[in-house]
Amino acid sequence: MVDIRGIKSAPSHLESTSLVFVYGLDVFYTPVAPNHKAYDRLGHDFNRLAIVGMLVVFAILALGAQRIAKKRELQRAWK
């Protein structure tokens, strides 16, 4: 480590990962994690479309269940 003038670090907003920037005679930048495996990152083969599709289906089902519950509540109120 020759002629290091400063070290800056910042959170990366990924679990247990920080960004480190070292400057001086040269410049060095790297993400740092306690484990070599990036266990909180999604792989390139992760099926994002399936997750988005499931979220849309669950949102539609929740709205449908809410409508049914309101209808039943109104029917009970009229009895």
Say yes or no: 50 and 79 in one domain.
Answer: yes
- Residue 15 forms part of a structural domain: yes
Give yes or no for a contact between 19 and 12, defined as CB atoms under 8 angstroms apart: yes
Say yes or no: 9 and 31 in one domain.
Answer: yes
CA 39, chain centre distance (Å): 12
DSSP labels, the chain? --SEEEEEEEE-SSTT-EEEEEEESSEEEEEE-SSSS-TTS--TT--HHHHHHHHHHHHHHHHHHHHHHHHHHHHHHH-
Q: What is the pLDDT of residue 40?
A: 61
Q: What is the pLDDT along the chain (79 residues), one digit of tens a residue?
A: 678 899 999 988 777 788 999 999 899 999 888 776 656 667 778 888 999 999 999 999 999 999 999 999 999 998 8
- Residue 26 forms part of a structural domain: yes
Q: Which domain holds residue 5?
A: 1-36
pTM score of the predicted model: 0.47
Q: What is the pLDDT of residues 14-35, one digit of tens each?
A: 777 889 999 998 999 998 887 7
